[in-house]
Structure 1
């Protein structure tokens, strides 16, 4: 049996209706992986889904925890593979997506992580649209998060060097992580190919807590960029108010 090349953390809480698709998308990839499901004590049948995959999982648990970021760090720490990522239980990889990310990062020893393009799918309507993803630029990263989290792959050495995601954050922990990764190791590599899907539904944190998500993201920008670009102030009313009513 091949040694795993990628540690995949799958944080989940009451997302049983999505979890099976997320896990299936990981295991259909032609890549040796070790997968850890960290469930926050779900009561919706998630454990039954996990048990159906138990023979292929490296490990799992279901109990109350300290939140998504802490659970991700916990799962990554249990693994030993040289590359790491996390896939939220309501997202999934497109066929061959993880393989493309692995090939790119293996060919780019100069980058701490790589990321590709992703689709956004609205559960209620089935509408599919591209997530806003761009080639890496500090200026553009300060304007918005140009990296789609499910479409990323990170070197374990870089992950461990900066201590993983900040467990104190609950909304913009990925945005904060990309900034810290960039500040410590330089620009992330870009894969101009669709590799993952972000599922949007009524229970997502960003949809339920737009104001908190926006405030946390703006704090991240100010911390690492030194100021908050005007775009954030201009766009905030639309993002927080209009989308809350009609999004």
Structure 2
């Protein structure tokens, strides 16, 4: 009888041959007992699959070639449905696990078995894997967090890095998985949905790395300003009504300002430096209390500094 895995790792990939070898190497460096790795490849060529197949004797993985499942959201929903473990995580093909990841996850699950969602910070690395900074969540560590508390901070800015969280498979299925219409903010939306299914806990341990590079969706997707704004507004309008009226009055202005700032920063990144003046004006309009809330929850400084470092070193 095959032992049930304790963790399923879902890896949606499309033309990921340039990155996925390093990603799978980072998994192979960890203890693999109790893992299930599901790679779902929609690439039009066999280049990515050829890299993955080199790891079949090193990792407990399944490679599924599914050209009909184009979006990462569709592939991820499909992978979670197939998962055999009670707990699941996602791993984009350009991100990494760091030493101690498996040991940490086992400990998190043992210490807080009732949690529907385990969050954690992540390292930010450039295209060469060099550390550029740390992606934090503005949350208290090792405390059970209720949905309202998390939403009040999460709706100002998505501060959850995709490779870090662990979630209950049953919670994912109960809330309908990722919305496949949200090509840019589907991850933001799913964290908000999962927070409504049970307690959330934040562990202040870095066990993953998020890679920033010029061809990532977070960069290319933000170049269409109107669609970029619409994607963020959809999530805000969907989840802000879940908060009490008093919370909505406090959080709404900071959340809407954050969307405007994100759109302005994307324009500035594309060469429109006047957009930085607009972004500064939006933040100042919040007043002292609103500005403190925005700066705490948006992690604006760490997001901007890491990308600037990568660009300055030519590794973006």
Taking structure 2 as the reference length, the TM-score comes to 0.71
Task: From the two aligned structures, give the one with the greater strand fraction.
Answer: 1
CA contact (8 A) 1:18 1:90 kept: yes
Q: 1:216 to 1:230 in 2, by over 3 A?
A: closer
Partners of 2:44 and 2:24 lie apart in 1 by 17
Structure 1 alignment gaps of length 5 or more = none
Deviation readout 1:154-197 (Å, 9 max, x if unpaired): 112212222222222211111100111112324x2101011110
Partners of 1:125 and 1:172 lie apart in 2 by 25
Which of the numbers 200, 210, 214 marks the counterpart of 1:198?
210
- 1:118 — aligned with what? 122
Partners of 1:105 and 1:40 lie apart in 2 by 32
Deviation readout 1:65-92 (Å, 9 max, x if unpaired): 2411110111122221111011000001
Q: Which has the larger radius of gyration?
A: 2
Partners of 1:54 and 1:42 lie apart in 2 by 21
Structure 2 alignment gaps of length 5 or more = 140-144, 242-251, 274-306, 308-316
Shift of 1:46: 0.9
- 1:149 — aligned with what? 162
RMSD: 2.3
Partners of 2:4 and 2:80 lie apart in 1 by 16
Shift of 1:124: 6.8
Deviation readout 1:51-72 (Å, 9 max, x if unpaired): 1123434421223224111101
Q: 1:97 to 1:57 in 2, by over 3 A?
A: closer
Q: 1:191 to 1:45 in 2, by over 3 A?
A: same
- 1:181 — aligned with what? 194
Matches within 5 A, 1:61-140: 61-64=64-67, 65-123=69-127, 126=130, 128-135=132-139, 137-140=150-153
Shift of 1:218: 2.5
Shift of 1:125: 9.4
User: In terms of mean alpha carbon deviation, does 231-240 or 215-224 score higher?
Assistant: 231-240
User: In terms of mean alpha carbon deviation, does 53-62 or 6-15 score higher?
Assistant: 53-62
CA contact (8 A) 2:35 2:60 kept: no
* 1:221 and 2:236 matched: yes
Shift of 1:19: 0.4
Partners of 1:45 and 1:60 lie apart in 2 by 13
Taking structure 1 as the reference length, the TM-score comes to 0.89
Q: 1:209 to 1:44 in 2, by over 3 A?
A: farther
Partners of 1:149 and 1:90 lie apart in 2 by 11
Partners of 2:102 and 2:158 lie apart in 1 by 21
